[in-house]
Structure 1
Amino acid sequence: MDRMRINRSHLDNTEPSPHAGALLLAHPSLLDPNFRRSVILLTAYGESEGAMGVVVNRPLGHTLGEYDADWVDSPLSTVPLFAGGPVAQDQLILVAWKWSAEAGTFQLYFGIDGEKVQQLLAKDPEFQIRGFLGHAGWSAGQLDVELEQKSWVLSACLPILNTTPEKIDWHELLCHERPDLRLLADAPDDPSLN
């Protein structure tokens, strides 16, 4: 996928629907270790095609230059790496995005190469660049079933993506989107510690 652009001014305040550019917040009851307390940026969604995304709140504490010697001398050597999901964890996916509050748009480039990233940054240094090892994927209809089962909370809080990686906080986003879930979100991992 190359580029996606969403104009938020055309969206109303009704219940959000899944689409490329939406955020999926794991429901507090979702215990699968691959997704527990995760924030996923949906990068593709289609009722008949399935969905794909990357986990944006699991930084690995490494950069492209530390991950692969081929990137050491690259202008992208300091791009942070994330655990993107349980599928193809040995695959590096480069992603660029930009949220523009003034224009009400979100631009997303997914699965692009280093040359394309450098071209984007040369034109507009406001793009956020991230590297992901692996991704999350759902077959046709699977994500819809999981949404019906309340495994995920949809969010359109895209400005959070313009912050530093450490600031993408599942708890904060979930409680902002669904204050009624705060008690469940505050529960410790081990209930005996409560």
Structure 2
Amino acid sequence: MRMNRSSHSNELAAHAGSLLLAHPSLLDPNFRRSVILLTAYGESEGSIGVVVNRPIGKTLGEYDPELSTSLLADVPLFIGGPVARDQLILVAWKLSAEAGVFKLYFGIDHLKAQQILQDDPEFQLRGYLGHAGWSEGQLDAEIEQKSWVVSGCLPVLDGKPEEIDWHELICHERPELRLLADAPDDPSLN
């Protein structure tokens, strides 16, 4: 797990394997209060990731009857982002905090996913419908505009999928944002 710091601030720099936390002021419904695992990052090629805190309450076995009797039947399914929501993306990862290593497989097929689980049951496997994507320089511009907070809190990915809590992460990473993070969705209800 790398903890890159950008050269002009004390904040982490984005890289594949980091988490993007939506800033509390980001109101786009596709990303409001989202936590994104950045799976590919490139200043000149663009970036891609999946929203890891939007479970849909289904498993792969419920989504695809062909997988209902496989090792993948109980793998949780998420809304991965606004792009290509009709596309299923399988993602596997394993964090070894002691060794400082984060292994990530993105966009694998169901046979490779089953093989990974057979070879090493310590891997976490998730299914995502869609993904989030940024064109060349777009993500860097959004980070510069404070739409995203970059986090290195990868250990949260090893817990239960429904326990990835945007509020807890944003307040841990940037305690000064707690007041904004605590604001109700509808200020008239305050």
TM-score (normalizing by structure 2): 0.95
Deviation at 1:15, TM superposition (A): 2.5
Tell me which of 131, 135, 138 is aligned to 2:134. Answer: 138
Tell me which of 172, 187, 192 is aligned to 2:188. Answer: 192
- What residue number does 1:73 align with? 69
- What residue number does 2:172 align with? 176
User: How many Å separate the matches in 2 of 1:15 and 1:24?
Assistant: 12
1:60 equivalent to 2:56? Answer yes
CA deviations over 1:28-52 (Å, ceiling 9, x no partner): 0000000000000000110111000
Residue identity over aligned pairs, in percent, reads 75
Once the two structures are superposed, the pairs formed by residues 94-173 of structure 1 within 5 Å of their partners are 94-173=90-169
User: How many Å separate the matches in 2 of 1:11 and 1:40?
Assistant: 17
Deviation at 1:83, TM superposition (A): 0.2
- What residue number does 1:51 align with? 47
User: How many Å separate the matches in 1 of 2:71 and 2:93?
Assistant: 18
For the aligned residues, what is the CA RMSD? 1.4
Q: Is the 8 A contact 2:89 2:128 kept in 1?
A: yes
Q: State the AA in 2 paired with 1:112.
A: I
CA deviations over 1:38-91 (Å, ceiling 9, x no partner): 000000110111000000000000001111111112111110000000000000
Deviation at 1:118, TM superposition (A): 1.6
Deviation at 1:11, TM superposition (A): 5.2
Question: Matched residue pairs, number?
Answer: 187
User: How many Å separate the matches in 2 of 1:133 and 1:12?
Assistant: 31
Structure 2: gaps of 5 or more residues:
none
